[in-house]
């Protein structure tokens, strides 16, 4: 297992649309394990492959408090959305920024699991938000894209300042 470096906004590599996984093989399972380790170490509740500079449609999620519920979603597709909900979001690629974003309240998602088996599951609350946030990453989209240009500009400046301090 390995901890992978996480790309930060406004890195243009976060904007690349990720490619579908053609076959769930050992190399994909190794990526999933490395992503889980990276997510737990960060720590975060989700991670999408483009955040670790891998342009594949792979996401991992664990919203439990004790690392007890790792999920891996390969080639995920939202096939149903219901309702609207607003939640405060953060992102490992936009560190130290938290803002409210509007999402679907409930989603049904279809994906391949780590054995390559097709699975369909419904999610709500934090899990639904996280699934939508991670699938956005696969499209090159970040939660700051839902904010105003002014807010995004302020976030860019704040992150620049943090980077200058730590470089
Ligand atoms: O760790 C994370 N927390 C979080 C909180 C609210 C909404 C979404 C998230 S996902 C984020 C990890 C991350 O950046 N995943 O891409
Ligand atoms: Ni994120």
Taking only the tens place, the pLDDT of each residue in 7-41 is: 999 999 999 999 999 999 999 999 999 999 999 99
136 lines ligand 1 (CB under 6 A): no
Nearest CA to ligand 1 atom 1: 44
Residue-level pLDDT at 166: 79
Residue-level pLDDT at 57: 99
Q: Is the pLDDT of residue 75 over 80?
A: yes
Give the closest ligand to the alpha carbon of residue 145.
2
Residue-level pLDDT at 109: 98
3-class DSSP string for 34-100: HHHHHHHHCCCCEEEHHHHCCCECEEEECCCCCCCCCEEEEEEEEEEEEEEEEEEECCCCCCCCCEE
Average pLDDT, integer, range 158-165: 92
Residue-level pLDDT at 167: 74
Say how many Å lie between the CA of residue 80 and the centre of ligand 2. Answer: 21
């Amino acid at each position: 297992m390995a901890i992978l470096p996480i790309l930060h906004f406004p890195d243009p590599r976060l904007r690349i649309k990720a490619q579908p996984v053609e076959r769930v093989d050992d190399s994909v399972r190794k990526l999933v394990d490395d992503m889980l380790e990276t997510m737990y170490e960060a720590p975060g509740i989700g991670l999408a492959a483009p955040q670790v500079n891998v342009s594949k449609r792979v996401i991992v999620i664990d919203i439990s408090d004790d690392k007890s519920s790792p999920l891996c979603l390969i080639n995920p597709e939202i096939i149903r959305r219901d309702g609207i909900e607003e939640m405060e979001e953060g992102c490992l690629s936009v560190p130290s920024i938290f803002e409210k974003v509007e999402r679907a309240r409930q989603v049904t998602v279809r994906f391949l699991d780590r054995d390559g088996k097709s699975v369909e599951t419904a999610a709500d609350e934090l899990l639904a938000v996280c699934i939508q946030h991670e699938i956005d990453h696969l499209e090159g989209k970040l939660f700051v894209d839902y904010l105003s240009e002014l807010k995004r500009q302020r976030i860019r400046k704040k992150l620049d300042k943090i980077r200058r301090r730590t470089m």
